[in-house]
């Protein structure tokens, strides 16, 4: 066993082992360099004219991280999301949370009013995850997640409990356009928002549900998760090296790939 582990350690030091996330970036790089496969012409004087520049640009973009995290949640066991949300909101989540991606905008007829990063729906809950890297959030963006919750209820015809997890770098107070030091500051700002005015700017079909929208806003629980805390949760979730089943091996690779991406982006150590 020790020989196997030391050999593996040597290999990891001297060679970069591709992860599932690396394969995603390799696919993007291929399409960048050979856009004719998408029916587009190459640009010989493109600004990003070296492979290293392309790689750095791709790994600075917020949207590519969103893609990686969405893919991770699609592949991870259902219990991972339930356990993560249980830790964030200090309560159990027992129902199966089905994941909506950006397709939720079409499926829930949001009509360009919002495009969620990730949304999970069970028979009793709606849990949304908003991811930030460099951009800032706002009260209006929080209200749009409440609107997403209303759209789910209108689609299924049943009320749900609503949750929003905010994922960002560093501290909670650096996440906002306005200065909110704590979740209580955010809650106070939401309580002072003009919800009727907000709903008047949304698609007509939502406006007859003002009372229920107000209730969702009032009762929606919001929690903050930074990338360091997410990384710690990923590490705790990894199966022991003693577990050698195919499932455990695949899960370790999945978690290691996500951890590696957060480290490469300097979002965690």
- Report pLDDT digits (tens) over 38-73: 555 656 555 556 667 777 888 888 888 988 999 999
- Which band of pLDDT confidence, cut at 50, 70 and 90, is reported for residue 34? low
Q: How far apart are CA 113 and CA 23, in angstroms?
A: 33
Coil, strand or helix: which one is 87?
Answer: helix
Helix and strand counts by DSSP (H, E) for the chain: 12, 5
* Mean pLDDT to the nearest integer, 160-175: 94
What order do you get walking across the sheet with 221-226 strand by strand?
Answer: 98-100, 118-121, 125-131, 161-168, 221-226
- Single pTM value for the model: 0.83
pLDDT digits (tens, 9 = 90+) for 214-233: 999 999 999 999 999 999 99
User: Contact at 8 Å (CB) between 54 and 83?
Assistant: no
Q: How far apart are CA 185 and CA 147, in angstroms?
A: 21
């Amino acid at each position: 066993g020790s020989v196997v582990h030391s050999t593996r350690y040597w290999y990891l030091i001297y060679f970069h082992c591709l992860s599932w996330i690396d394969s995603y970036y390799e696919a993007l790089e291929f399409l960048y360099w050979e856009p004719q496969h998408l029916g587009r012409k190459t640009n010989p004087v493109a600004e990003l004219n070296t492979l290293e520049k392309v790689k750095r640009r791709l790994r600075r973009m917020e949207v590519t991280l969103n893609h990686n995290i969405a893919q991770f949640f699609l592949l991870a066991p259902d219990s991972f999301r339930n356990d993560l949300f249980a830790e964030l909101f200090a309560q159990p989540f027992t129902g199966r949370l089905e994941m909506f991606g950006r397709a939720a905008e079409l499926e829930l007829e949001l009509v360009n009013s919002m495009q969620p990063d990730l949304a999970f729906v069970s028979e009793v809950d709606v849990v949304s995850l908003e991811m930030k890297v460099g951009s800032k959030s706002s009260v209006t963006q929080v209200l749009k997640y409440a609107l997403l919750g209303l759209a789910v209820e209108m689609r299924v015809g049943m009320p749900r409990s609503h949750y929003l997890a905010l994922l960002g770098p560093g501290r909670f107070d650096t996440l906002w356009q306005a200065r909110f030091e704590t979740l209580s500051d955010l809650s106070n700002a939401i309580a002072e928002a003009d919800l009727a005015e907000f709903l008047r700017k949304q698609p007509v079909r939502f406006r007859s549900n003002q009372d229920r929208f107000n209730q969702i806003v009032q009762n929606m629980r919001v929690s903050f998760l930074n990338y360091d805390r997410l990384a710690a949760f990923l590490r705790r979730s990894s199966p022991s090296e003693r577990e050698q089943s195919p499932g455990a091996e695949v899960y370790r690779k999945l978690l290691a790939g996500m951890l590696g991406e957060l480290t490469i982006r300097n979002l965690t150590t």
